[in-house]
Amino acid sequence: METVERISRHWTGAISSIWSNQEIIRAFIAREIAGRYRGSFGGLLWSLINPLLMLAIYTFVFAVVFKARWSSSQPESGTGFAVVLFVGLIVHGLFAECLLRAPRVIIEHSNLVKKVIFPLEVLPIVTLGVALFHASVSIVVLFAAMIFGGAQLHVTALLLPVVLIPLIAITLGLSWFVAALGVYIRDIGQLIGLLTTVLLFLSPVFYPISALPESYRALVLFNPLTLPIEQARDVLIWGRLPDWRALAAYYVISFLVASFGYWWFKSSRKGFADVL
């Protein structure tokens, strides 16, 4: 019971921090997005051009060159291999963008570390907000491609936030953990880059789980990205409801990961100033 109360306290603290610092978070997200495209000719338009070009390339390579099909058991009229693959890339991209930025997010804002009143825990949240912006633009591109390809937009697509909320919580928890660790261990960034690449190929992004031999499926099913990728495809492309039982378990796990990450960050913060 004491452990449950402690976890709940950390989770409540995280939610409270997000709520009380929402103006700071919004301002930093807007600044980060604007700064990323500042000075370029296309400006913010690049956030739309990038996923559009990538989807066009995937469509050409897999639909025109390889004439690939995702699965013989799945209807692909109007969607195609590239669109199914693109959903997996959106989910992985959301996760990877946050984790790749996390190791240096505190170091790059070292001027804020000694400001006792500044809530450093919002910095990984800002990174998450930027990643969500890019993911949202990619989803708009996905819908446009489905409409252009003659695919039906399913009402189950409205459940996408329900599918992604636990992924967002897990991503934030791991970002807090890695951000704090990155202050003390500078090499962690290299390791995270390797791990996100490994996760890309150990997730059902480029292949359906059914294509794997039985002996390897367990490895992919334990991947934290597998469930949100599969469930996102179900609600967006196949028009199916999520697996509520699996999703409920994923919510519990995400709750624990986010609580641990927040506790780790808050516990480690006291030593940031000494290292930086």
152-180 pLDDT per residue, tens: 899 999 999 999 999 999 999 999 999 99
Q: Is residue 122 part of a domain?
A: yes
- 141 occurs within a structural domain: yes
Q: What is the pLDDT of residue 78?
A: 44
Any idea what DSSP says for residue 192? H
Query: Is 8 contained in some domain?
Result: no
Looking at the domain assignment, is residue 81 inside a domain?
yes
In a domain, 3, yes or no: no
Where in the sequence is the domain holding 38, given as residue range(s)?
23-275
Kindly tell me if the per-residue pLDDT of 1 is higher than 80. no
At residue 151, the pLDDT reads 84
Q: Report how many helices (DSSP H) and strands (DSSP E) the chain contains, helices first.
A: 11, 0
Cβ–Cβ under 8 Å, residues 72 and 102: no
Q: Is the pTM of this model over 0.85?
A: yes
pLDDT at position 77 is 45
- Domain count of the chain? 1
Kindly state whether residue 16 falls inside one of the protein's structural domains.
no
For 79-98, the pLDDT digits (tens) are 588 899 999 999 999 999 99
Spatial separation of the C-alpha atoms in residues 9 and 139, rounded to whole Å: 34
Q: Tell me the pLDDT tens digit for each residue of 224-264.
A: 999 999 999 999 999 999 999 999 999 999 999 999 999 99
- Say if 209 falls within a structural domain: yes
b/e code 135-157 from CB counts within 10 Å (16+ = b): bebbbebbeebbeebebeebebb
Q: Is 96 helix (H, G, I), strand (E, B) or coil?
A: helix
Q: Are 228 and 91 in contact (CB under 8 A)?
A: yes
The Cα 70–Cα 73 span in angstroms is 9
In whole angstroms, what is the distance from residue 273 CA to residue 114 CA?
6
- Name residue, tokens 């329900």: 162
- Residues 6 or more apart in contact with residue 70 via CB below 8 angstroms: 76, 81, 84, 85, 208
- 8 Å CB contact between 268 and 102: no
